[in-house]
Amino acid sequence: SEAHWYIVVFVVRNALISLVPVIPDAAAQIQIMFFILTVSMILTVYVWPWRVAEANALDVGCCFGLTVMLTCAAFFVGDVSAQTWAIFCLVLVSTLLLIVFSVFSLAIHQRMKN
């Protein structure tokens, strides 16, 4: 692949993930981590930066697994207001709908191109 620039995305993603624990609110930590991992996963699927296909699949699978764990962990955060939960659920559902729409759009584009 000709995505030599992707290493910058990889380093920035890891730097942002390392800064998330500095945020004092646990719900905000989960939301920000979810956003970082989801954007990284979408970008990896779109660019397919690694030379070996299995490495790309592993990267996407790890991001997806961490996203699922974060979603499950969100239910164990105590002392969270209803407004914070509403925002988290809105971001989660919106992101998942965006992913589904993107996958379907990409599939239709690929089908029309052939």
Q: Which long-range contacts (CB under 8 A, 24 or more apart) does 46-49 make?
A: 47/1, 47/3, 47/6, 48/1, 48/3, 49/1, 49/3, 49/6, 49/9
59-107: per-residue pLDDT in tens? 999 999 999 999 888 888 877 777 877 877 887 788 888 888 887 888 7
Distance CA 80, CA 90 (A): 15
**Nearest in space to 64 (alpha carbons), one of 40, 48, 80:** 40
1-53: per-residue pLDDT in tens? 578 899 999 999 999 999 999 998 888 888 899 889 989 998 998 898 998 88
